[in-house]
Amino acid sequence: METTSMSVKGQVVIPNKIRKALGLKPNSKLIILQDGSNILLKPIEEPKIKDFKNLIAMGDEIIKQLNLKRKDVASVIKETRNKQKCA
């Protein structure tokens, strides 16, 4: 177990041992969650290009199964984005 303290500005130092174990570097991004009186810091991992390519392949397969054209998909995306802007 490690301890730290919060500065006047609300900054918290993550102990070196923990930073090294998690591979955290300067400017690493973290999400912060609150559960009652508990605080959880979780590193945000950069997605792997392989995972992104797999998502694209899955989308292409769904387009093929539904017999859609790419312009149909682009049209639906544009329409959805416009609806979100108005909401």
Q: Which domain holds residue 9?
A: 1-45
Spatial separation of the C-alpha atoms in residues 67 and 64, rounded to whole Å: 5
User: Do 40 and 2 fall into the same domain?
Assistant: yes
User: Do 62 and 79 fall into the same domain?
Assistant: yes
Spatial separation of the C-alpha atoms in residues 87 and 84, rounded to whole Å: 5
User: Do 5 and 31 fall into the same domain?
Assistant: yes
pLDDT values of the chain reduced to their tens digit, one per residue, 87 residues: 889 999 999 999 999 999 999 999 999 999 999 999 999 999 998 888 999 899 999 988 988 898 888 788 888 888 889 888 886
Spatial separation of the C-alpha atoms in residues 80 and 28, rounded to whole Å: 32
* Single pTM value for the model: 0.52
Output the six-digit token pair for 64. Answer: 């093929």
